Amino acid sequence: MNVFRRHREHHRTDRSGWLRASVLGANDGIVSTASLLVGVAAAGADQQSIVLAGVAGLVAGAMSMAAGEYVSVHSQADTEKADLSRERAELEADPTAEHRELTAIYVARGVEPELAARVARQLMARDALGAHARDELGITDALGARPLQASLASAASFALGAGLPLAVTVVMPVSSLIPGLAASSLAFLALLGVAAARVGGADTLAGALRVSLWGALAMAITAAAGALFGAVV
């Protein structure tokens, strides 16, 4: 019998990259598009103008999210590559010092010094760069930066989120558009918060309240701006 056989566990940290980008995109899609539509409606625009503004906001927002997410996550990836390159050079130049450094990390985490030194030696013999990347730099395969994945997830989720209030605008009469759009968008945000919390293993009520509160605040401010200036915002 293999006493070291791993038991099955279900962790969610490997979802953090695409989940963060997807939740951010969907939340931004709902909030920004709903706020835009509410602001335009509050300014007194007709339904055709409101829908047109929503379509423009959806396309522009999705492209902006894709570009912004790709650039920001790619910057993180570049930083990780630079750190790994520096660490590789240090391992080649002075492996003894790097062994002491890794040993000190394990001792700081509560491992006895002699055991920490043996663990560091064995891990470095197997994969020195991987051991330092994980335990010194905090870089792992599961949490590493993936620019293209984050970009696509963010753009797709933004378009999906933006499409929800836009669909409500198409079918709802202008006379009841503002309250109907606000109520439906808050419901969409609450569902998004619940879904994101369930996927991430967090508290669903807290997730729903958090996104709904900020969405309501954004729509209220935009509606006030549209009513105040009486123009498309």
pLDDT tens readout for residues 81-102: 898 899 999 999 999 999 999 9
Residue 127 pLDDT > 60: yes
CB neighbours of 28 closer than 8 A, spacing ≥ 6? 61, 65, 158, 161
Q: Is 29 exposed, middle or buried (0-12, 13-18, 19+ CB in 10 A)?
A: buried
Structural domain contains residue 36: yes
In degrees, rounded to 5, the angle at the alpha carbon of residue 73 between the alpha carbons of residues 70 and 78 is: 115
Helix (H, G, I), strand (E, B) or coil at 203: coil
Give 4-15 pLDDT, tens digit per residue: 455 454 444 444
Cα 87 to Cα 5, 94, 125, 136, 185, distances in angstroms: 32, 10, 16, 10, 48
Structural domain contains residue 44: yes
Structural domain contains residue 5: no
Full domain range(s) for residue 69: 15-229
Q: Which residue has the tokens 């900020």?
A: 214
Structural domain contains residue 211: yes
CA distance 230 to 117: 71
Closest by CA position to 37, among listed 23, 48, 21: 48
Give 147-173 pLDDT, tens digit per residue: 787 788 888 989 999 999 999 999 998
- What is the rounded average pLDDT of the residues 30-36? 88
Residue 24: per-residue pLDDT: 77
Residue 65: per-residue pLDDT: 86
Residue 145: per-residue pLDDT: 62
Cα 46 to Cα 52, 72, 174, 181, 223, distances in angstroms: 10, 38, 7, 15, 15
Residue 202 pLDDT > 80: no
Residue 165: per-residue pLDDT: 92
How far from chain centre, in Å, is Cα 161?
14
Evaluate whether 15 touches 200 at the Cβ level (below 8 Å): yes
Give 179-196 pLDDT, tens digit per residue: 898 889 888 988 888 877
Q: How many domains does the chain have?
A: 1
Higher pLDDT, 32 or 200: 32
- What is the rounded average pLDDT of the residues 216-223? 77
Structural domain contains residue 6: no
CA distance 120 to 135: 10
Residue 26 pLDDT > 60: yes
Residue 75: per-residue pLDDT: 85
CA distance 129 to 131: 5
- What is the rounded average pLDDT of the residues 32-39? 87
Residue 1: per-residue pLDDT: 45
CA distance 29 to 62: 8
Structural domain contains residue 10: no
Residue 206 pLDDT > 50: yes
Residue 141: per-residue pLDDT: 66
CA distance 124 to 130: 8
Residue 233: per-residue pLDDT: 40
